[in-house]
């Protein structure tokens, strides 16, 4: 299996954290909160699209809401594939950081 990229990890974790409430607006906010970087919906959706194509997430439409101009929310949820990939990523992170001490201030 291919390794997840860092941004994939970020998005997947955001969706995981949001549990049942993961749709465009919330995912975007969550990612901003986690990383401090803002995404546009363009990049957000192309990233989500990639995750969907790779089978890490599934999409489902919710009921239409008035504040969205009568449009449905598209909810994202992790698949078991996605969870496996996250776990593998965490293992990998641990492996590759093994034996490297905390950086001290003046080393940066």
Partner 1 sequence: MIPEHPQPSSLALRILSRMAIHGEEYSPLGDLEEEYNEMAKVMGVDRARFWFWIQILKAIPAFTKLKIYWSIQMFKNYMKIALRNIKRHKGYSIINIFGLAVGITCCILIFLWVQDEFSYDKFHENGNNLYLVGTHQRLGSRTATSSGTPPALGPAFKEEYPEIVNSVRFCNGPHALIFAYGEKRLREYVEAVDGSLFEMFSFPLLRGNPKTALSKPHSLVMTERMAQKYFNMEDCLGKIIRVENKYDFEVTGVLKNLPHNSFLQFDCLVPIQFLKEHWNAPDHLNTWYNFSFTTFVQLSENASPQEVEEKTAGRINKAYPDDDVTPFLRPYTKLYLYGLGTGGGRITRVRMLSLIAVFVLLIACINFMNLTTARAANRAREIGMRKVTGALRWDIIKQFYGESILMAFLSLAFAVLLVILLLPAFNNLTGKELSFNPSHNLSMILGLLGATLLTGLIAGSYPALFMSSFQPVKIMRDTSGIGSKSSLFRKILVVLQFSISVALIIQTFVIFKQLNYMRSRDLGFNRDHLVYIPVNGSLQQHYEAAKQELQLVPGIAQVSLTSRTPLIFGSSGNGWEWEGKSPEIDPMIRYFCCDFDFVQTFEMEMVQGRFFSKERTPAASPQSGQLVINEEFARIIGSENPVGMRLSHGPYHGTVIGVINDFNYWPLYYRSGPLIIFYKTYNPSPGHHFYRYIFARIRPENVSQTIASIEKIYKKFNSEFPFTFRFLDDDYSRLYSSEEQAGEIFRYFAILAVLISCLGLFGLASFLTEQRTKEIGIRKVLGSSVQGIIFLLSKQFMKWVAVANIIALPIAWYLSYRWLQNYPYRTITGVWVFILTAALTLVIALLTVSYKSIKAARSNPVDSLRYE
Binding site for partner 1 (CB under 8 A): 23-25, 28, 40-46, 49, 65-69, 71-74
Q: Work out how close the CB of 62 gets to partner 1 at its nearest, in angstroms, rounded to a whole number.
A: 10
When the beta carbons of 68 and 90 are compared against partner 1, the nearer one is: 68
When the beta carbons of 44 and 58 are compared against partner 1, the nearer one is: 44
When the beta carbons of 69 and 101 are compared against partner 1, the nearer one is: 69
Q: Work out how close the CB of 49 gets to partner 1 at its nearest, in angstroms, rounded to a whole number.
A: 7
First to last CA, the chain: 34
Q: Work out how close the CB of 11 gets to partner 1 at its nearest, in angstroms, rounded to a whole number.
A: 14
When the beta carbons of 67 and 95 are compared against partner 1, the nearer one is: 67
DSSP sequence for the chain = -PPPPHHHHHHHHHHHHHGGG-SHHHHHHHHHHHHS----HHHHHHHHHHHHHHTSEEEEEEEEEGGGTTEEEEEEEE-HHHHHHHHHHHHHHHHHHTTPPPPPGGG-
Q: Work out how close the CB of 102 gets to partner 1 at its nearest, in angstroms, rounded to a whole number.
A: 37
């Amino acid at each position: 299996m291919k390794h997840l990229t860092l941004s994939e990890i970020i998005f997947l974790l955001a969706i995981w954290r949001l549990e049942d409430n993961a749709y465009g607006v919330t995912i975007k906010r969550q990612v901003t909160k986690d990383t401090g970087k803002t995404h546009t919906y363009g990049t957000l959706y192309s990233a989500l699209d990639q995750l969907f194509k790779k089978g890490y997430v599934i999409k489902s439409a919710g009921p239409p809401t008035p504040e969205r101009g009568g449009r449905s929310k598209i909810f994202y949820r992790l698949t078991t594939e996605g969870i496996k990939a996250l776990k593998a990523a965490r293992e990998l992170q641990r492996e590759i950081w093994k034996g490297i001490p905390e950086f001290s201030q003046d080393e940066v």
